[in-house]
Structure 1
Amino acid sequence: MTRIDRYILILFLRTVMVCFLSLAGIFIVFHAFTAFDDLVNQTRRGDSLMWVLVRFYGPYLIMLFDMTGAIITLMAFLFTVGWLRRTGELTATLSAGVSHGRIFRPMVVASLVIITAQFASRELVIPHFRSSLTMKAEDLNGEIEQAVRPTFDQFAGVLIEGARLKTKARTIEKPNFRIDSEYEGFGDLLIADDAVWMEPGESRSPRTGIVEGLTGGPPVRGYLLHNVKRPEYIDRIASVGREDQPILMTSADQSWLGPGECFLATSVHPNILHTEDTATRLASVWELSGRVRNPAVHSSLALQTQVHERIVRAPLDFGLVMLILPLVVNVRGRKLFVMIGSAVGMVLGFFALKTLASALGGSGTLFTPGIAAWLPLLVVCPIAFVRLRAVQNV
């Protein structure tokens, strides 16, 4: 890397940082203006105001970077080249026989690194803060509760629903599971005080959710129901299953279950029961694809389209940056604001294509979900590649 490469790279990264921090500052100021009282109330529990702000706005800033990283990178590209052109540094470098492609190489590589960092945060970091990103300021130190989205387990033949879902504890309060299959002795309804999600071999406290050990737990994943009220005399009913797979287990023949407890074996994770669409958008590709492959849960065309969109998003964002690159070369001598206007128009067209493809895939019109999600990439990337090759030696 030459000295001019380092100079251009530092100028570009500094522009990216200034743009992001400006946007983040606007977001925090406007949001804190309406939620400041709730945030201050959190300090009464012993935490400093700065720590409360970091806990609450930290995950939101990560999500803001994921939502705006590509656009900020694109605008920083334009502003950096505009600055080099205005100061005469770009003209001096070109007069030395260096091509536009060589000058812009550090910014292109930095753009790829930023988009890769976006991908990493989207798949590895944001899913861990999903609960924090769906809560309000007053819920910062408490449990997050929301309504339960009724979900039917097609394999078990059980409709899972309840009064409320505690996302952190993975617990359904007052579960009301409707049984749509013939299980001897269970009837058509399963009612209890709460239902706690458990993984195979996990042993947890029914109230605190704390893992107590790794032995003596359920052999499969599912919900452990405490204080079952219906059917009555649950401890006298034998466990039942389907196709050699356990479905409903009781203490009558399961020693790891206590009195009044029942275990429903299911692959319907509490994350699927979220009523907030944000929780689905913040899930990783691995989790979303797992839902699509899950035979027990119906997957909509919109969800299938979303999985493919998440896969192609990173290369599509980089394709957008390369699509705007010829505008930066500016062989026609356009002014900076004219270039920015052209870039904005191209970005609007890009997102219009993505929105149209997503709508077609979600409705099943003309294209399958996979083809609809990949269509923008098939359109944008060849054009971006041709335009990039055309200006590399200019």
Structure 2
Amino acid sequence: MRILDRERYWAFLKAYMTCYISLVGLYVVIDAFSNIDEFMKRCEGFPELMKAMGRYYLIHQAAYFDMLGGVISMMAAIFTVTWMQRNNEHLAMLAAGVSTHRAIRPVLVSSVLVSGLAVSNKEVIIPRFAEDLQKSHDDDGTRNVTAIPSRRDERGVVLSGLEAVRSKQTLVGRVNATIPEDIYGKLRELEGQQATYIPEGMSRAPMRGGWLFRGATLRPDIEPEQLEPDASILTLVKDEAGFPPQHGPGILPGRTYFLRTSLTFKAMTRKPDWYQYASLGELFDGMADPASEGTERNDITVEIHQRFLKPLLSLTLLFMTLPLVLGSYGKNMFIGLGMSLGNSAMFYGLVIACAYLGTNAVLPAALACWLPLFAFGLLATWRWDIIRT
């Protein structure tokens, strides 16, 4: 590695860290002061408050890097090249026979490395802390989940609840399961006071892969012989031995039923934007999950396309922007920076608009995601060719 290359790498790193700390630090300070009351709801004393806030913002660095990594990479490249021009280093290298493309090679390599780190962050780190990243400021991970949406499995069974207890994997309040008429010949409504999810891995449970409804009633009722364990998706449970205990004290009036369904506790309690924190494997599983339907399926499709395109879009933005600084406009540093910011606003405006059209099915998801790359890729190629060496 040549001395000039090391200088460019070091300049890029300094610019990147300065921009990242400035932008993220400002956001963290504003967000912390705006939500300090929310943090205090789950903390007692100053040391515990500092620990909770430190953990919250440390984990969220993965999300901040995912959102700002490409933009900051572009800003770092602009500052590196601009500083090189301002100190007349670029002119000296041209006089020594070093072309502009060769001079900025370390900047391009650094941007590619940042894009690689962004991919690793998105596929490894963010999915690992997905649950923490989706928590609100006052959520310590123990409180109940509210606003449970209705979900449908592959047989058309619709399950809904009012509240979920994380530690028990139990829906409480009023839990409803609507069974379509093609299963029992008539539309059935199963309503219980609570329903506990029994995963396939719970070997001690006599029935697995579904929900145990307690304090339940079935309307209209079904003949007992239709509710045998091997004859139906719905089973009347007479002995609860082996099942997890019910949530809360007392005796729940009503019967106990076991409903076999592919809807898991995670599928029932996940937030609407869960796919933003999932890995590619989880996204493909979500596409095959019957619980993902309607607009959510469009959202997942768009997210999959954007996941593949994000590194390419970041590099396209860089190749669009650097010529504004290196070309004829680069004689004035502030004009170059201003045009670069306007260029970025136009770029992300189109990306966001196309994503909106894709998620709302106005355009096919593939076309909506690839359109910005086609449009700006041609512009970036044309601009790159006008760089004077």
TM-score tier by shorter-chain length is: 0.7 to 0.9
Q: CA contact under 8 A between 1:360 and 1:372: conserved in structure 2?
A: yes
Against the structure 1 CA distance between its residues 192 and 75, is the aligned structure 2 distance closer, same or farther, given a 3 Å change threshold? same
Q: CA contact under 8 A between 1:39 and 1:138: conserved in structure 2?
A: yes
Task: Give the aligned partner of residue 161 of structure 1.
Answer: 160
Distance 1:124 1:106 in 2: 27
Q: CA contact under 8 A between 1:135 and 1:144: conserved in structure 2?
A: no
Q: CA contact under 8 A between 2:320 and 2:384: conserved in structure 1?
A: yes
Summarize deviations over 1:161-202 as a string: whole Å, max 9, x none: 0011346765422321122235559971223343344442x2
- What amino acid does structure 1 have at the position aligned with 2:349? A
CA RMSD between the two structures? 3.4
- What amino acid does structure 1 have at the position aligned with 2:229? S
Q: Secondary structure at the match of 2:155?
A: coil
Q: Which moved more, 1:367-376 or 1:299-308?
A: 299-308
Distance 1:93 1:106 in 2: 14
Summarize deviations over 1:310-351 as a string: whole Å, max 9, x none: 332222122211221212313344312211111122212212
The answer to whether residue 7 in structure 2 is matched with residue 21 in structure 1 is no
* Identity among equivalent pairs (%): 26
Q: CA contact under 8 A between 1:251 and 1:262: conserved in structure 2?
A: yes
Residue 147 of structure 1: how far off its partner (Å): 0.7
Q: Which moved more, 1:179-188 or 1:275-284?
A: 179-188
Task: Give the aligned partner of residue 284 of structure 2.
Answer: 289
Q: CA contact under 8 A between 2:161 and 2:172: conserved in structure 1?
A: yes
The answer to whether residue 375 in structure 2 is matched with residue 379 in structure 1 is yes
Q: CA contact under 8 A between 1:271 and 1:279: conserved in structure 2?
A: no
Distance 1:218 1:7 in 2: 67
Distance 2:29 2:291 in 1: 45
Against the structure 1 CA distance between its residues 298 and 49, is the aligned structure 2 distance closer, same or farther, given a 3 Å change threshold? closer
Q: TM-score, normalised by structure 2?
A: 0.83
Q: CA contact under 8 A between 1:157 and 1:181: conserved in structure 2?
A: no
Distance 2:38 2:306 in 1: 36
Against the structure 1 CA distance between its residues 123 and 258, is the aligned structure 2 distance closer, same or farther, given a 3 Å change threshold? closer
1:171-320 matches, within 5 Å, as 171-174=170-173, 175-184=175-184, 188-200=188-200, 202-203=201-202, 215-216=203-204, 221=209, 223-231=210-218, 237-239=227-229, 247-249=233-235, 251=237, 262-274=257-269, 276-295=271-290, 297-300=292-295, 301-320=298-317
1:288-367 matches, within 5 Å, as 288-295=283-290, 297-300=292-295, 301-365=298-362, 367=363
Q: CA contact under 8 A between 1:78 and 1:328: conserved in structure 2?
A: yes
Task: Give the aligned partner of residue 388 of structure 1.
Answer: 384
Which segments of 5 or more consecutive residues in structure 2 lack a partner in the other structure?
Answer: 246-254
Distance 1:273 1:378 in 2: 38
- What amino acid does structure 1 have at the position aligned with 2:155? A
Q: Secondary structure at the match of 2:172?
A: strand
Q: Secondary structure at the match of 1:227?
A: strand
Residue 304 of structure 1: how far off its partner (Å): 2.6
